[in-house]
Amino acid sequence: MISSNIIKPFERERSLLTPVDAANNKIRAFLAQQGQSPPPPPPGREAETRIHTTADFWTIEGVLYRGKVHAVDLAKTLLDNGTAKTQDQWIDYTREARTRNDFYLPDFPLLHGIVTRLYEQRSQAGVEAIRAQVQAWTREKWLMTTTRIRYNPQGEDEVIHNYTLPDEERIDTSFVGPNEWIKGSTTPEAVQVLLGTSQSMQEINQVYHWLNGTDTYLCRKNTKLSQPDERVAKLYANSDMVILDLDCYWDPQNSNSGLGVRARNNRSIISILKKKTLLNKIKLIPFSVKSRL
């Protein structure tokens, strides 16, 4: 198996996002002391609000995925013309499609990042058409992802995003629990790990309520098993529009359709190291000026 990135829940958010904000504040304060205006912030998600459309796909800018901002192309038809495949077959398809820069199957965090960004930009022209189409697909099909859950008989379970692909990500968490409405979830960390987000349960439910007009439900293994058991993660809404389901229960041999996506990293979140380097350079400014005087 291809080597994996082992990440604890929220490790990325704690190590990158919060310190970056603190460093930004220090830089602004220092520049204010020197009588200098702070530079304009780098283009971020607030500025990346455009939705582009072509005959075959939409481009959604500002999608947050794995701590970076992406532009994501979303195909206007289901992947491979709506063909149903097992997760393993879709993963083989995805591996080959990526080499051609073609559309491929997303993991759950990328799917969630797309839906969240559409929700954030719901007042933009063109977003309603995308929402309506994705809603129709979730009701007509059970949308497969490249995320798999490994339920372990002892200790923590594993949420595996992009299963067996080069960018596979394994996250240890306690995933076993009751089937439940997520807005009152007893295990919010499991939902956040599944979706790759630090959003609250209320925020997540709001996003999917906008997509489908229903509250969101989590379906999973309810008790520990005697042997390890792997299940695929899917998104679907039942036909009577009562529920939108984050489904983590189905056998890997089941076949379903999936969205076609193509993601490009637009702007990496600035690392702590880069911030420290910038701070050190700024601290040298007064001494450089004195030496020239």
Encode pLDDT of 48-104 as tens digits: 457 899 999 999 999 999 999 999 999 999 999 999 999 999 999 999 999 999 999
Residues constituting the chain: 293
Burial class (CB in 10 A: 0-12, 13-18, 19+), 25: exposed
Q: Is the pLDDT of residue 176 over 60?
A: yes
| pLDDT recorded at residue 5 | 53
| pLDDT recorded at residue 142 | 86
Rounded to the nearest integer, the mean pLDDT of the chain is: 81
Q: Which residue has the higher pLDDT, 142 or 107?
A: 107
Q: What is the mean pLDDT of residues 167-171?
A: 97
Q: Which residue has the higher pLDDT, 120 or 272?
A: 120
Between the alpha carbon of residue 144 and those of residues 43, 119, 218, 221, 228, the distances in Å are 33, 21, 15, 18, 21
Domains in the chain: boundaries: 5-30+45-271
* CA-wise closest residue to 211 among 273, 143, 158: 143
Cβ–Cβ under 8 Å, residues 57 and 71? no
Cα(105)–Cα(90) distance, integer angstroms: 7
Segment among 26-35, 68-77, 105-114, 145-154 with least mean pLDDT: 26-35
Q: What is the mean pLDDT of residues 213-230?
A: 94
Q: pLDDT tens digit string along 271-290?
A: 433 444 444 554 444 434 33
| pLDDT recorded at residue 238 | 73
Q: pLDDT tens digit string along 227-254?
A: 999 999 999 887 565 578 899 988 999 9
- Binned at pLDDT 50, 70 and 90, residue 25 comes out as low
Query: Quick one: what percent of the chain has pLDDT higher than 70?
Result: 72
* Full DSSP string of the chain: ----EEE-TTHHIIIIIHHHHHHHHHHHHHHHHTT-PPPPPPP-TTT---EEE-SSEEEEEEEEETTEEEEEEEESS-GGGG--B-HHHHHHHHHHHHHTT--B---HHHHHHHHHHHHHTTTSTTHHHHHHHHHHHHHHS-EEEEEEEEE-SSS-EEEEESTTSTT-EEEEE------EEGGG-S-HHHHHHHHT----HHHHHHHHHHHHSS-EEEE---S--SS-EEEEEEEEE-TTSS-EEEEEEE-TT--B----EEEEEEEEPPPHHHHHHHHHHHHTHHHHHHHH-
